[in-house]
Amino acid sequence: MLSIFATVAASVVVATLIGHIVHWMLHKRWSGPFYRGHMEHHLDHYPPGALVSPAYKVPKWHRSGPVLFTPAFVIIVAVAGGLTYLLSLPLTLMATFGVTVLLFGLLNDTVHDAFHVEKSIVHKLPGFAKMRASHFLHHHNMRKNFGIIVFAWDRIFGTFRE
């Protein structure tokens, strides 16, 4: 049981790091269509001064989210599976890692979308208002606050702004 708890905790750390890096990359012109799609979210749908709407405005690129993010998820799980095999670790650890990363990614997306809508049951989550304020600062200064739920990596990399 302790190894599963440790795997879940490590998986959340890895998931938040991957999320931070991916979000940072979406702000780099060299990421091409990913940059353009993400800028649609920042500049067209939710620019500073218009950060909330009655319903979430889905960018064109987001409609193909499974096409964009499934390969990344498969690569992450494949690498974890390979390491599990090479290090002769129990298969339950790799399965726990995969499920945790998937669930955390879904939670991250759900909370992010709720930041931009006027009313959501997600608004009742503990700490939601503080996370939302940090995310909205990101919309005002796109070089800061790449986290969505967790801003620890922003603190580590010096990109956090209160």
What pLDDT is attached to residue 43?
87
pLDDT in tens, 1-60: 567 788 888 888 888 888 888 889 889 999 888 788 888 888 888 888 899 998 888 766
Query: So what's the pLDDT on residue 113?
Result: 87
pTM above 0.85, yes or no: no
pLDDT at 109: 83
What pLDDT, on a 0 to 100 scale, did the predictor assign at position 41?
Answer: 83
| CB-based burial, 35-49: b 16+ in 10 Å, e otherwise | eebbbbbbeebbeee
pLDDT at 72: 67
Q: What pLDDT is attached to residue 28?
A: 93
Residue type at 158?
A: G
101: enclosing H helix or E strand: helix 91-115
Residue 154 pLDDT: 96
- Take residue 28 and report the two structure tokens written for it: 């780099």
Q: Name the residue among 133, 132, 102 with its Cα closest to residue 114.
A: 132
Q: What is the pLDDT of residues 50-108, one digit of tens each?
A: 999 988 887 666 555 555 566 667 777 787 778 878 888 778 877 888 888 888 888 88
Give the tens place of pLDDT for each residue, 113-130. Answer: 899 999 999 999 899 999
Tell me what pLDDT residue 60 has.
67
Torsion (CA) 85, 88, 89, 94 in degrees, nearest 10: 10
Neighbours of 91 (CB within 10 A): 10
- Tokens for 66? 């499974």
- Count of beta carbons in the 10 Å neighbourhood of residue 128: 16
CA 48 – CA 123 distance, rounded (Å): 20
- Would you state the pLDDT for residue 101? 81
The answer to whether 28 and 34 are in contact (CB under 8 A) is: no
